[in-house]
A = this chain, B = another copy of it.
Amino acid sequence: MKENAVLNFLRQRKTVYISGEEISKRLEVSRSAVWKEMQALRRLGYEIEAQPHLGYRLLAIPDKLFADELMAELGTKLIGKEIYSYEELDSTNDAAFRLGEKGAKEGLCVFAEYQKKGRGRLGRSWVSPKGKNIILSVLLRPVFLPHEISKLTLACAVSVIKTIRKTTGKTLGIKWPNDIYYENKKVGGILTEMSAESDRINFIVVGLGINLNAACDELPEGSTSLKEITGCGIDRVGFGRELLRRLEIDYTRLKNDSFEALEKDWETFSVTSGQRVVARLFGRKIEGQALGIDKDGALWIRQDNGFQERIMAGDVEHLWSKK
């Protein structure tokens, strides 16, 4: 019996019952093999109704980011053609990086329910309670120069915003360069890492952490989740699929040389542009009004003395209170 063959029958039928006899005939396996598979699926968390004389019916899928579940009905051509899912990992970025080093194909995704050593930008940690949110790393192999990686990060931030808007109706904001915010509170972050030569990217790993169903008290201070914002629990598998589809769309736009369009999207969602900010980089501190990004993804800041600075790296703090 092929992996997930029984599950696929249940999926196809949706609301209609399918008898154990029919499954056993069509898969050419014994009735007892079908029954064993139903038990195995139930242990994984699938809710399967069994009605005498009617048969089986799939009531609910588990709240788990199973690779197979994410890939069902995904419909992408690149992102998510190969998915690895883990209950627990040190870091999905590290796992995807190692797969990249071994030559894994572009579009590969690594999901985890929990990271023991989750990392954020600039060597910080990324904290996310088990089984509540989305932790995902995507392997990409664009023909970019190393300095173009910033554009990819900005594109992915746009994908996250659009996925959230489609699944919840809420439009969140991007804090430069790629943090996802809702009213001064962090909902998601992106950590883009690469292996590169001087003038050639070997591969990029984009790590995305998005708070879906975690309660505020499970998250670091200053963070919130989509469930807290909307008051509704989020279907994590559905969100995950939509995210992969959207990443494929925006990555394709970027590769086809339309960073201009993405730049406009980014500016639309930016909560940094127009804000009073303090940027810290390499020991320097620059305070002023954020103006927006340029075609390289750098942030421009107008200082109080009128002088404008271009920020390619480092940390930007919003002086929200002074707005």
Report the stretch among A5-13, A193-201, A287-295 that lies at the interface.
Answer: A193-201
Name the residue among A97, A147, A177 with the largest chain B CB count within 10 angstroms. Answer: A147
A16 within 8 A of B: no
Complex Cα gap A185–B195 (Å):
30
Q: Write out the residue numbers on chain B whose beta carbons fall within 8 Å of the beta carbon of A313.
A: 145, 198-200
**Copies of this chain, how many?**
2
- The answer to whether A198 and B122 have CB atoms under 8 Å apart is no
Q: Are A177 and B191 in contact (CB-based, < 8 A)?
A: no
CB-based contact B192/A194 at 8 Å: no
Bound-state Cα–Cα, A197 to B196, Å: 11
Interface assignment of A314: CB less than 8 Å from any CB of chain B: yes
In the complex, whether A143 has a CB less than 8 A from a CB of chain B is yes
From the candidates B193, B200, B282, name the one contacting A197 in the complex (CB within 8 A): B193
Q: Write the A168-208 contact mask toward B (1 if CB under 8 angstroms, else 0).
A: 00000000011000000000000111111111101000000
In the assembled complex, A149 has its CB within 8 A of some CB on chain B: yes
The answer to whether A177 and B199 have CB atoms under 8 Å apart is yes
Most buried by B among A145, A194, A199, A200: A199
Q: Kindly identify, within residues 195 to 245 of chain A, every residue whose CB is under 8 Å from any CB belonging to chain B.
A: 195-200, 202
How many angstroms from the CA of A149 to the CA of B178 in the assembled complex?
Answer: 23
Closest to A196 in B: B194
Q: Is A127 an interface residue (CB 8 A)?
A: no
| A282 interface neighbour in B143, B146, B177, Cβ under 8 Å | B143
The complex places the Cα of A194 from the Cα of B201 at a distance, in Å, of: 9
Query: A300-323, CB under 8 A of B: which get 1 and which 0?
Result: 000000000000111000000000
* Contacts A177-B198, A191-B197 given; does A146 touch B143 at CB 8 Å: no
Number of residues on chain A facing chain B (CB within 8 A)? 27
Chain B residue contacts of A149, Cβ below 8 A: 146, 196, 198
Interface centre among A178, A191, A200 (most CB of B within 10 A): A200
Query: Digit string of A128-149 for contact with B (CB within 8 Å is 1, else 0)?
Result: 0000000000000001011101
| A202 B193 Cβ-Cβ under 8 A | yes
Which B residues are CB-close (under 8 A) to A282? 143
Contact B150 A198 (CB under 8 A): yes
Q: Of all chain B residues, which has the CB nearest A197?
A: B193
Q: In this assembly, does A153 line the interface, its C-beta being within 8 Å of a C-beta of chain B? A: yes
Name the B residues within 8 Å of A150 (CB-CB): 198-199
CA distance A177 to B121 in the complex (A): 31
Chain B minimum-CB-distance residue to A122: B200
New A-B contacts (16) at CB < 8 Å, excluding given A146-B149, A150-B198, A192-B198: A97-B195, A121-B197, A122-B197, A145-B147, A145-B313, A149-B198, A153-B198, A177-B198, A191-B197, A193-B195, A193-B196, A193-B197, A193-B202, A194-B194, A195-B195, A199-B312
Chain A: residues with CB nearer than 8 A to chain B? 97, 121-122, 143, 145-147, 149-150, 153, 177-178, 191-200, 202, 282, 312-314
